[in-house]
Structure formats: structure tokens, C-alpha cells
């Protein structure tokens, strides 16, 4: 039980894709100008991530190593297109707001990263939990940023007006995304540090599961740099 819980929580806290691994930042910066858009993007990415993790994990014995990446991309692209069509048909307003960033989920490195680093090497149940955890972690980070930007930049939250008379428009513009994500990452890491949960640099390494090095902090990538 403990093991399953750890896999799920891993994506939310210890290896949060946005705040710790810092992968898949592009949609987070682009789609977080309002909390509603951010939530829509988070749910869409989570759906694709979960589906691709499930399929990759089920087919992992059948997918030859040499062509795994193109196969992952085909699988991901299929689910992204399904999401895109469904969104256009049933949530036209959301689809319009997210615009080109829905098709661009294909190249969201969180999804390809999890397919490669986790689902291709783990059982179905573990992959489902990983997909959910990472998806929730992604959604949490993007919605948090969306709420901050919307409150300070537009004086609303989830389109509901709150009493801010003169919002700073800068925050809903692109620079606001960079400032917001920077502050968010800093606060998140400060919180983690104060709880003493940061250990070696390997703890947050996206390649950890593929790493053949036995000693902490002495991975192949670091060795090559030296």
C-alpha cells in the first residue's frame, strides 16, 4: 500500500513536473492567464498522460526498444487529437481559449517523459498511479499559477469578481507568467527545504529510474560533464 501511495504522491510533491522537474513549462506559461483556462489545460494534459501511460504500459512488452519513441509519439498524438475533437465539440469556449496549445500537448515533455521513464518500465497499476499523480501535480501547479495571475492581474478568480479595484494587467500578460512561475518555484522549494525533505540532486532527477549509477550524486550525465 505504502508503495502505491508513494508512486502517486511522487508526481505531486517530490517530483512535481512543473515545480521540481521543470518540464512541460510551455503550456503552463501560456495557458495560465486565467484559472479556468489553466484548469482546462491541466485536465486535458492529465487525460492524455493517463491514457498514454496505460497504453504504453500495456504494450511495453510488444514495443521494440529501437522504435519506442515514434510509437509513443503516435500513441500520444492519437489521444491528443481525440481530446481536441471532443473539446471542440462539447467545450467550444475552452477550446477557443486554449487555442493551439491543445494540439501542442503532443510535444508536452511531461507526457513523453513519463512514457519513456516510467510506463515503459513498470506495471499497469503503477503506471496508472504515476500518470494520475503527475497529472494532478501538473494541474495543481498550473491552476495555482492561474489563480495567482488572475487575482492579481484581472481581479477575478474563476471568472468571479473579487474586490480588487486596480489589478496589475502585467500579470495576465506573458511577462506575468514568467514572474509568477519563478516566485511559485521559489516558494515551493523554500517550503520543501524548511521541511528538510530535499536530499541529493538525484531525488529530483527525471532520469533517475534509468540511471545505472549506484552512488547518489554520481550519475553518468554528471560524470560526462566532469
Partner 1 sequence: MKIIKLGLILLIVTVLSATSLSLVYLQTADRILEVKKEKVYKLQKEILPLAESFEDIDEGTVKVGYDGDKNEVGRIISVSPKGYAGNIEMLVGIDNEDRITMIKIVKQSETPGLGSQVSKSDFLGQFKNKNLAGVFLRRESTDGEIDAITGATISSRAVAKGAQQAIQKNIKAKKSAEPDSEADEKD
Q: Which residues form the interface with partner 1 (CB under 8 A)? A: 62-64, 66-67, 70-71, 74-75, 77-78, 81-82, 85-86, 88-90, 92, 169, 173
Helix pair 35-58, 68-90: axis angle to 10 deg: 140
Closer to partner 1 by CB, 102 or 185: give it: 102
Contacts of 158 (CB under 8 A, 6+ apart): 34, 35, 36, 39, 150
- How near is the Cβ of 70 to partner 1 at its closest, in Å? 6
- How near is the Cβ of 54 to partner 1 at its closest, in Å? 14
- How near is the Cβ of 184 to partner 1 at its closest, in Å? 22
| Secondary structure (3-state) at 195 | coil
Rounded to whole angstroms, how far apart are CA atoms 210 and 157? 41
Q: Is the dihedral of CA 121, 17, 129, 213 positive or negative?
A: positive
Number of Cβ within a 10 Å radius of residue 166: 6
Closer to partner 1 by CB, 92 or 182: give it: 92
Q: Where are the alpha helices (DSSP H) in the chain?
A: 2-9, 25-30, 35-58, 68-90, 92-98, 109-117, 124-154, 174-194, 220-225
DSSP string, 26-84: HHHHHT-SSHHHHHHHHHHHHHHHHHHHHHHHHTTTTS-GGGHHHHHHHHHHHHHHHHH
Three cell numbers written together for 191: 517550503
Amino acid at each position: 500500500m505504502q508503495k502505491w501511495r508513494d508512486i502517486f504522491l511522487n508526481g505531486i510533491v517530490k517530483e512535481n513536473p512543473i515545480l521540481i522537474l521543470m518540464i512541460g513549462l510551455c503550456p503552463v506559461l501560456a495557458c495560465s492567464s486565467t484559472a479556468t483556462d489553466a484548469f482546462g489545460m491541466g485536465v486535458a494534459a492529465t487525460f492524455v498522460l493517463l491514457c498514454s501511460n496505460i497504453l504504453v504500459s500495456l504494450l511495453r512488452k510488444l514495443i521494440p526498444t529501437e522504435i519506442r519513441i515514434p510509437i509513443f509519439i503516435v500513441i500520444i498524438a492519437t489521444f491528443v487529437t481525440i481530446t481536441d475533437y471532443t473539446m471542440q465539440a462539447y467545450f467550444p469556449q475552452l477550446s477557443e481559449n486554449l487555442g493551439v496549445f491543445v494540439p501542442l500537448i503532443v510535444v508536452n515533455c511531461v507526457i513523453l517523459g513519463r512514457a519513456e521513464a516510467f510506463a515503459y518500465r513498470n506495471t499497469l497499476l503503477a503506471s496508472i498511479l504515476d500518470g494520475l499523480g503527475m497529472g494532478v501535480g501538473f494541474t495543481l501547479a498550473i491552476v495555482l499559477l492561474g489563480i495567482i495571475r488572475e487575482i492579481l492581474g484581472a481581479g477575478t478568480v474563476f471568472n468571479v469578481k473579487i474586490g480588487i479595484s486596480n489589478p496589475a494587467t502585467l500579470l495576465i500578460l506573458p511577462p506575468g507568467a514568467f514572474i509568477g512561475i519563478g516566485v511559485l518555484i521559489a516558494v515551493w522549494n523554500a517550503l520543501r527545504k524548511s521541511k528538510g525533505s530535499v536530499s541529493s540532486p538525484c531525488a529530483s532527477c527525471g532520469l533517475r529510474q534509468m540511471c545505472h549509477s549506484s552512488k547518489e550524486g554520481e550519475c553518468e550525465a554528471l560524470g560526462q560533464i566532469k
